[in-house]
Chains A and B, each alone.
Chain A
């Protein structure tokens, strides 16, 4: 059934059909607050939750996702437009709000899944949005069939017209009213075959690019509300610390400052269901007054339980932890026996630091709370989470909470948590006014759900022919599943070490173990969380094995991957991992960088590949050192993400992921000292600038007939190891600690 089960199908049908019938019989009743007026238009011409047809035959399509830069405002409507046979050049896209409602069977979302995380938007939309478009098209064709007194299947559609067998074309607009009265199809509509695609697979530019380049696009931070005051917070710099004394005399004297009050933090050890840190809120007429008021505060803190925590101590504890037994994540064969029988054992340790998300648009929230309802406007990745947080803190029912998502200035996982939403609610309740909460950059870097810190110890056992007989991956890390209620039941290693990742299933003896490290740092997912976290270690180590055993690093990987076949993969992105697809991106990447060509002039080439969330990617770089700086002469990214919905979008994600990967691998680390995060600006958390970047990322996307996998995260995990491997090739210095540049200069 095209990936939809019967129940999902009925829900699509109810939205598609239900709204129509309402539209016909009770036009006024269709004006529910959750449907933006733009989408409703004339109720008679609305074909379900996603499609409206204007009188001039322009099609308006609702975009349900959270647009964080991954392009879903373009790609998800493309799926609908394809099956609707809409003229893409005349489609206008409108952002949909969060669609929570109480249906006959309880809680539901009239638009389906809306969150942005795990590269799932396209895979989800592939299942239900095409069907939604196909149903709307079916209704229009049925209307034409009734009009022309012809059987449904003698009619065709093209570019927002129904086509009569004699070639007569009738615009959808002329059929919309009749279509709104047609009973929906009794069965799922058959979807197009790929050879019929007119929109999917064709490059489509960002639909709201014109608004972006003219400064008219509204991001969450650009939203204002009559009567709202602006709030900034001075948060406790100590992990789990609290407010001791507050002298707000000077702050209150700042013109425009209206109020100053303490906001409590979560109880140490309790789950992060609300805000992240205790602090003092300054509420003012505008942002500048609030910032000035904050600067004038005199606050002392109680440091809390983590005063001994530091990155240096954490590194020592990680090394110590590896001496223990840990928790087994996967064990194949007998690794201990393999060690005994080995002709040779190689071992190396790799370190990855805490990372901040540093979304270009910092966290913010605009909220109005009334006795019987609330309105939230802002940049989100998890509107469902925001809705829950607001409901929990206000006591309002979730269907009384309206959430309008805006274009978001980046996400990278930061906005999967809604601590800043909670904070805004807490402040608004105290202030008794609508609140626009603003975070400054130092707030953002010092208070985040950081990508975990980890120490990976990898060992390989080799027989006399240098064949890999065993592989052990021990990972000591600050678990990602820390104080997040919904992750409580998950094993601590999840998010840091995946049982079935490469080379699991490819070596006879395998031992993967996780060692949990205590830390007061809040942790969370950071773009391709698990995979950026460990691919650096695994893919660097494979390179080391190749060099140590005098094998070609590409050949070694291909030999390990073996013949093309599917292996079981339990983690996100499964249920299968296709060794042939990973081998294909690696091979193509090696060809593109001319892997076998010897380099001179201090240049070196490195390569790596990884499987992330159902997609396959390989990176290769050609680098040289220029004093203390690294020059990247060529950057290649080869990806197989299944069928491509928007080639321009996938290219953007791969190139962007590569640049993000380079910037992060070279420069970025969050460190902690005396229980306080040490970074607070782009000076000490130095996102890469143009001058540091390759001029071009050569993106090659392999054609595929497989179902699309999404593309937001596949383009980053293999970057750091490919860079480290290239640095080794250029300098013979093996960098085993991120960020690379500082460590490389230390070693040189």
Chain B
């Protein structure tokens, strides 16, 4: 992947000051090597080095959740994660959850419910919700109340609706997938019977 290599070079140049041994990690499917400060939090590596600015700075101490990303599939606050702890890990950011032009169900639900006001916290809210729906496919109101990401504009009611909508979209997609697989199996069976 020439594009990925170019990114590695860029990252390496930007952080060439100290070389305590490179830290290799995967971000949104591409491999990067960090040679800068090992205590640099992932958030600042994403933003200042890779210019993946979708993850936001809100507090720097893990209280607000605006910087939420996935580390090996689990929601984590990237402002508290030093790069040194991430060697070999797989990171997904808000920029990496859609498949091409197809939005993730949670992103789509956010648009459908017109959730964002200022929009600043929403990437973190979405990443936290993707994680929640992995653990709880049909979250109760109490489950949704466990989301601790801060929103200063007060979009919580629409976030709640969007979480429920996303759960439904994912359930519908799963059902459609199962149906398609069933039809395919039936087709294969029929073809087998024919032969």
Contacts and interface: CB of A to CB of B under 8 A. Distances in A.
A209 B18 contact: no
B187 interface: no
Contacts of A659: 151, 153-157
A288 B48 contact: yes
B114 interface: yes
Interface in A645-672: 648, 652, 655-660, 663
A215 B118 contact: no
A244 interface: no
Interface in B64-114: 64, 66, 93-95, 98, 103, 107, 110-111, 114
Contact of A213 (B40, B52, B107, B144): B107
Tell me the interface secondary structure of chain B in the complex.
Answer: loop
Contact of B56 (A221, A291, A292): A221
Nearest to A652: B117
Contacts of A224: 51
B158 A655 contact: yes
A164 B127 CA distance: 51
Contacts of B40: 286, 288
Contact of B114 (A216, A652, A683): A652
Contacts of A412: 152
Given A212-B119, A287-B47, A361-B56, A690 B156 contact: yes
B5 interface: no
B44 A212 contact: no
A288 B41 contact: yes
A690 B141 CA distance: 10
Interface string B34-45: 001101110010
Contacts of B58: 360-362, 441
B94 A215 contact: yes
**Quick one: which of A230, A652, A657, A658 has the most chain B CB within 10 A?**
A652
B3 interface: no
A254 to B, nearest CB: 9
Contacts of B55: 215
B32 interface: no
B111 A213 contact: yes
Nearest to B112: A205
Interface stretch (A64-72, A189-197, A393-401, A574-582): A64-72
A407 B118 contact: yes
A288 B44 contact: yes
B59 A441 contact: yes
Nearest to A359: B152
Contact of A214 (B48, B54, B121): B54
Nearest to A358: B152
Interface residues of B, number: 64
B167 interface: no
A625 interface: no
A224 B46 CA distance: 13
A212 B152 CA distance: 16
Given A214-B95, A288-B44, A652-B114, A683 B63 contact: yes
Contact of B59 (A210, A288, A681, A695): A681
Given A213-B116, A255-B37, A256-B37, A656 B153 contact: yes
Contacts of B18: 255
A659 B116 CA distance: 14
A194 B158 CA distance: 30
A682 B150 contact: yes
A206 interface: yes
Given A215-B94, A255-B17, A360 B64 contact: yes
A360 B152 contact: yes
B66 A360 contact: yes
Interface centre among B49, B126, B153 (most CB of A within 10 A): B153
A683 B59 CA distance: 10
B60 A409 contact: no
A687 B114 contact: no
Nearest to A221: B57
A224 B159 CA distance: 30
A291 B41 CA distance: 11
A694 interface: yes
A218 interface: yes
Contact of B98 (A214, A217, A682): A214
Nearest to A212: B119
Contact of B57 (A212, A362, A652): A362
Contacts of A360: 56, 58, 64, 66, 118, 120-121, 150-153
A687 B152 contact: yes
Contacts of A681: 59, 61, 63
A222 interface: yes
Nearest to A698: B157
A658 B155 CA distance: 10
B195 interface: no
Contacts of B98: 214
Contacts of B93: 215
A137 B128 CA distance: 46
A157 B57 CA distance: 47
A224 B57 CA distance: 15
A441 B160 contact: no
A206 B114 contact: yes
B128 to A, nearest CB: 10
A212 B49 contact: no
A219 interface: yes
8 contacts: A70-B117, A209-B119, A286-B49, A288-B48, A410-B152, A683-B63, A689-B150, A695-B141
Given A214-B94, A255-B17, A288-B44, 8 more contacts: A214-B107, A224-B51, A360-B121, A441-B64, A655-B157, A690-B148, A696-B157, A697-B157
The 8 nearest A-B residue pairs measured at CB: A215-B54, A659-B154, A69-B118, A409-B120, A215-B94, A222-B53, A656-B154, A69-B117
